[in-house]
Amino acid sequence: DAGVTQSPTHLIKTRGQQVTLRCSPKSGHDTVSWYQQALGQGPQFIFQYYEEEERQRGNFPDRFSGHQFPNYSSELNVNALLLGDSALYLCASSYQTGGETQYFGPGTRLLVL
Amino acid sequence: QKEVEQDPGPLSVPEGAIVSLNCTYSNSAFQYFMWYRQYSRKGPELLMYTYSSGNKEDGRFTAQVDKSSKYISLFIRDSQPSDSATYLCAMSANNQGGKLIFGQGTELSVKP
Protein backbone atom coordinates (compact mmCIF):
# COMPACT_ATOMS: atom_id res chain seq x y z
CA ASP A 1 0.00 0.00 0.00
CA ALA A 2 1.69 3.20 -1.18
CA GLY A 3 1.76 5.97 1.34
CA VAL A 4 1.69 9.68 0.62
CA THR A 5 4.18 10.65 -2.06
CA GLN A 6 5.53 14.10 -2.90
CA SER A 7 7.65 15.52 -5.67
CA PRO A 8 10.19 16.91 -6.06
CA THR A 9 12.19 16.12 -2.91
CA HIS A 10 14.31 19.26 -3.14
CA LEU A 11 14.01 22.51 -5.04
CA ILE A 12 16.07 25.69 -5.30
CA LYS A 13 14.46 28.86 -6.62
CA THR A 14 15.27 32.56 -6.63
CA ARG A 15 13.18 35.40 -5.25
CA GLY A 16 10.23 36.34 -7.44
CA GLN A 17 9.98 32.96 -9.14
CA GLN A 18 7.03 30.62 -9.02
CA VAL A 19 7.02 27.00 -7.83
CA THR A 20 4.65 24.01 -8.09
CA LEU A 21 4.80 21.11 -5.66
CA ARG A 22 2.92 17.84 -6.13
CA CYS A 23 1.31 15.29 -3.84
CA SER A 24 -0.37 11.92 -4.27
CA PRO A 25 -2.50 10.82 -1.28
CA LYS A 26 -2.47 7.46 0.45
CA SER A 27 -4.68 4.87 -1.24
CA GLY A 28 -8.30 5.27 -0.12
CA HIS A 29 -7.87 8.88 0.99
CA ASP A 30 -9.75 11.71 -0.69
CA THR A 31 -8.61 14.79 1.25
CA VAL A 32 -5.28 16.55 0.98
CA SER A 33 -3.91 19.16 3.37
CA TRP A 34 -0.74 21.19 2.91
CA TYR A 35 1.54 22.41 5.68
CA GLN A 36 4.65 24.58 5.81
CA GLN A 37 7.37 23.66 8.32
CA ALA A 38 10.12 26.19 8.96
CA LEU A 39 13.37 24.94 10.49
CA GLY A 40 12.95 24.16 14.18
CA GLN A 41 9.20 24.76 14.12
CA GLY A 42 6.07 22.65 13.95
CA PRO A 43 4.10 22.44 10.69
CA GLN A 44 1.67 25.28 9.94
CA PHE A 45 -1.57 24.62 8.09
CA ILE A 46 -1.79 26.23 4.64
CA PHE A 47 -5.04 24.82 3.20
CA GLN A 48 -7.08 21.70 2.64
CA TYR A 49 -8.66 20.27 -0.52
CA TYR A 50 -11.66 17.96 -0.75
CA GLU A 51 -13.81 17.22 -3.79
CA GLU A 52 -11.50 19.44 -5.86
CA GLU A 53 -12.32 22.51 -3.76
CA GLU A 54 -10.42 24.45 -1.12
CA ARG A 55 -12.34 23.74 2.09
CA GLN A 56 -10.21 25.51 4.67
CA ARG A 57 -7.35 27.96 4.64
CA GLY A 58 -4.78 29.01 7.21
CA ASN A 59 -3.11 32.40 7.59
CA PHE A 60 -1.21 32.37 4.32
CA PRO A 61 -1.34 35.05 1.58
CA ASP A 62 -2.98 34.60 -1.80
CA ARG A 63 0.45 33.88 -3.28
CA PHE A 64 -0.20 30.37 -2.02
CA SER A 65 -2.75 28.53 -4.12
CA GLY A 66 -3.62 24.95 -4.83
CA HIS A 67 -5.54 22.49 -6.87
CA GLN A 68 -6.95 19.01 -6.45
CA PHE A 69 -7.47 16.67 -9.39
CA PRO A 70 -10.22 14.05 -9.89
CA ASN A 71 -7.80 11.30 -8.81
CA TYR A 72 -7.38 13.19 -5.46
CA SER A 73 -3.79 14.20 -6.14
CA SER A 74 -2.96 17.82 -5.42
CA GLU A 75 -0.63 20.68 -6.31
CA LEU A 76 0.60 23.58 -4.23
CA ASN A 77 1.63 26.72 -6.14
CA VAL A 78 3.57 29.59 -4.65
CA ASN A 79 4.00 32.80 -6.68
CA ALA A 80 6.44 35.67 -6.22
CA LEU A 81 8.69 33.66 -3.93
CA LEU A 82 10.21 35.36 -0.89
CA LEU A 83 13.27 34.32 1.09
CA GLY A 84 10.92 33.53 3.98
CA ASP A 85 9.16 30.88 1.89
CA SER A 86 12.18 28.59 2.37
CA ALA A 87 10.83 25.63 4.32
CA LEU A 88 9.79 21.99 4.21
CA TYR A 89 6.38 21.70 2.52
CA LEU A 90 4.39 18.76 3.75
CA CYS A 91 1.35 17.13 2.23
CA ALA A 92 -0.99 15.08 4.42
CA SER A 93 -3.88 12.91 3.34
CA SER A 94 -6.97 11.71 5.17
CA TYR A 95 -10.41 10.32 4.55
CA GLN A 96 -12.92 13.16 4.24
CA THR A 97 -12.52 16.63 5.68
CA GLY A 98 -13.14 15.65 9.28
CA GLY A 99 -10.32 13.14 9.20
CA GLU A 100 -8.00 14.11 12.00
CA THR A 101 -5.96 10.98 11.35
CA GLN A 102 -3.67 12.52 8.75
CA TYR A 103 -0.74 10.77 7.18
CA PHE A 104 2.17 12.85 5.97
CA GLY A 105 4.45 12.53 2.99
CA PRO A 106 8.22 13.01 3.14
CA GLY A 107 7.96 16.65 2.15
CA THR A 108 9.55 18.92 -0.44
CA ARG A 109 12.41 21.04 0.81
CA LEU A 110 12.30 24.46 -0.87
CA LEU A 111 15.20 26.88 -0.72
CA VAL A 112 14.66 30.40 -2.00
CA LEU A 113 17.83 32.37 -2.75
CA GLN B 1 0.34 33.36 23.11
CA LYS B 2 0.53 30.28 20.89
CA GLU B 3 -2.46 27.93 20.85
CA VAL B 4 -0.16 24.96 21.55
CA GLU B 5 3.00 25.18 23.64
CA GLN B 6 5.69 22.50 23.62
CA ASP B 7 9.13 22.59 25.21
CA PRO B 8 11.60 22.37 22.29
CA GLY B 9 14.27 20.65 24.37
CA PRO B 10 16.65 19.20 23.42
CA LEU B 11 16.07 16.31 25.79
CA SER B 12 18.82 13.74 26.26
CA VAL B 13 18.27 10.45 28.15
CA PRO B 14 20.15 7.15 28.56
CA GLU B 15 18.88 4.03 26.83
CA GLY B 16 16.16 2.29 28.85
CA ALA B 17 14.90 5.48 30.52
CA ILE B 18 11.25 6.52 30.69
CA VAL B 19 10.67 9.65 28.64
CA SER B 20 7.89 12.15 29.31
CA LEU B 21 6.93 14.65 26.61
CA ASN B 22 4.29 17.30 27.22
CA CYS B 23 2.16 19.96 25.55
CA THR B 24 -0.20 22.56 26.90
CA TYR B 25 -2.92 24.30 24.93
CA SER B 26 -5.30 27.22 25.30
CA ASN B 27 -8.23 26.34 23.01
CA SER B 28 -10.85 24.43 25.01
CA ALA B 29 -12.54 23.37 21.74
CA PHE B 30 -9.73 20.93 20.92
CA GLN B 31 -11.09 17.38 20.96
CA TYR B 32 -8.57 15.40 18.91
CA PHE B 33 -5.00 14.93 20.10
CA MET B 34 -2.14 13.37 18.22
CA TRP B 35 1.55 12.66 18.63
CA TYR B 36 3.83 12.51 15.61
CA ARG B 37 7.45 11.40 15.40
CA GLN B 38 9.70 13.12 12.88
CA TYR B 39 13.16 11.87 12.01
CA SER B 40 15.64 14.36 10.62
CA ARG B 41 14.72 15.59 7.15
CA LYS B 42 11.66 13.30 6.97
CA GLY B 43 7.89 13.81 7.17
CA PRO B 44 6.02 13.37 10.48
CA GLU B 45 4.85 9.83 11.28
CA LEU B 46 1.61 9.38 13.27
CA LEU B 47 2.32 7.62 16.58
CA MET B 48 -0.76 8.05 18.72
CA TYR B 49 -4.29 9.42 18.27
CA THR B 50 -6.67 10.16 21.13
CA TYR B 51 -10.17 11.56 21.14
CA SER B 52 -11.16 13.69 24.17
CA SER B 53 -9.75 12.80 27.58
CA GLY B 54 -8.16 9.61 28.83
CA ASN B 55 -5.23 7.31 28.24
CA LYS B 56 -4.19 5.22 25.28
CA GLU B 57 -1.41 2.65 25.20
CA ASP B 58 0.40 1.15 22.22
CA GLY B 59 3.44 -0.97 23.00
CA ARG B 60 6.06 1.20 24.71
CA PHE B 61 4.04 4.37 24.10
CA THR B 62 1.28 5.83 26.31
CA ALA B 63 -0.66 8.99 25.49
CA GLN B 64 -2.56 10.89 28.18
CA VAL B 65 -5.02 13.74 27.76
CA ASP B 66 -6.23 15.92 30.63
CA LYS B 67 -8.74 18.35 29.18
CA SER B 68 -9.46 19.98 32.54
CA SER B 69 -5.83 21.11 32.71
CA LYS B 70 -5.44 21.52 28.93
CA TYR B 71 -2.40 19.25 29.11
CA ILE B 72 -1.34 16.22 27.08
CA SER B 73 1.56 13.84 27.55
CA LEU B 74 3.39 11.09 25.72
CA PHE B 75 5.35 8.52 27.73
CA ILE B 76 7.97 6.28 26.16
CA ARG B 77 9.04 3.27 28.22
CA ASP B 78 12.36 1.46 27.78
CA SER B 79 13.58 4.14 25.37
CA GLN B 80 15.85 3.03 22.54
CA PRO B 81 18.41 4.92 20.43
CA SER B 82 16.01 4.45 17.49
CA ASP B 83 13.52 6.66 19.39
CA SER B 84 15.86 9.63 18.83
CA ALA B 85 13.75 12.06 16.82
CA THR B 86 11.61 15.18 17.15
CA TYR B 87 8.20 14.56 18.73
CA LEU B 88 5.35 16.83 17.68
CA CYS B 89 2.02 17.16 19.44
CA ALA B 90 -0.95 18.17 17.30
CA MET B 91 -4.58 18.86 18.00
CA SER B 92 -7.79 19.94 16.33
CA ALA B 93 -11.38 20.89 17.11
CA ASN B 94 -14.66 19.46 15.83
CA ASN B 95 -15.43 22.59 13.85
CA GLN B 96 -12.01 22.86 12.21
CA GLY B 97 -12.48 20.07 9.69
CA GLY B 98 -9.17 18.38 10.26
CA LYS B 99 -6.98 21.49 10.50
CA LEU B 100 -4.15 20.39 12.78
CA ILE B 101 -2.44 22.83 15.13
CA PHE B 102 1.07 21.66 16.01
CA GLY B 103 3.42 22.36 18.85
CA GLN B 104 7.00 23.40 18.13
CA GLY B 105 8.30 19.85 18.63
CA THR B 106 10.64 18.38 21.26
CA GLU B 107 13.99 17.01 20.09
CA LEU B 108 14.79 13.74 21.89
CA SER B 109 18.16 11.99 21.96
CA VAL B 110 18.48 8.52 23.50
CA LYS B 111 22.11 7.65 24.24
CA PRO B 112 23.30 4.00 24.14
Confidence of residue A63 (pLDDT cuts 50, 70, 90): very high
DSSP 3-state assignment of B95? helix
The stretch A19-26 carries a mean pLDDT of 97
Task: For residue A46, give Cα distances in angstroms to A61, A84, B16.
Answer: 9, 15, 38
Asked whether the beta carbons of B56 and B63 are under 8 A apart, the reply is yes
pLDDT at B41 exceeding the cut of 90: no
> In this structure, what are the phi and psi dihedrals at residue A101, rounded to the nearest 5 degrees?
-80, 90
Round to whole Å and give the CA distance between A54 and A52: 7
**Is A33 within 8 Å of B4 when comparing Cβ atoms?**
no
In tens, the pLDDT along A78-95 reads 999 999 999 999 999 998
Asked whether the beta carbons of B64 and B55 are under 8 A apart, the reply is yes
* Count of A-B CB contacts under 8 Å: 71
Round to whole Å and give the CA distance between A109 and B41: 9
Q: Which of A41, A59, A96, A102 to probe the B interface (max B CBs under 10 A)?
A: A102
**What's the half-sphere exposure (Cβ side, CA atoms, 13 Å) at A16?**
0
**Is B46 within 8 Å of A4 when comparing Cβ atoms?**
no
Q: What is the pLDDT of residue A30?
A: 93
In tens, the pLDDT along B42-78 reads 999 999 999 888 899 999 999 999 999 999 999 999 9
pLDDT at A103 exceeding the cut of 90: yes
Q: Sort A16 into a burial class: Cβ within 10 Å, 0-12 / 13-18 / 19+.
A: exposed
Q: What share of chain A is helix, strand, coil (3-state, %, to 5)?
A: 5, 50, 45
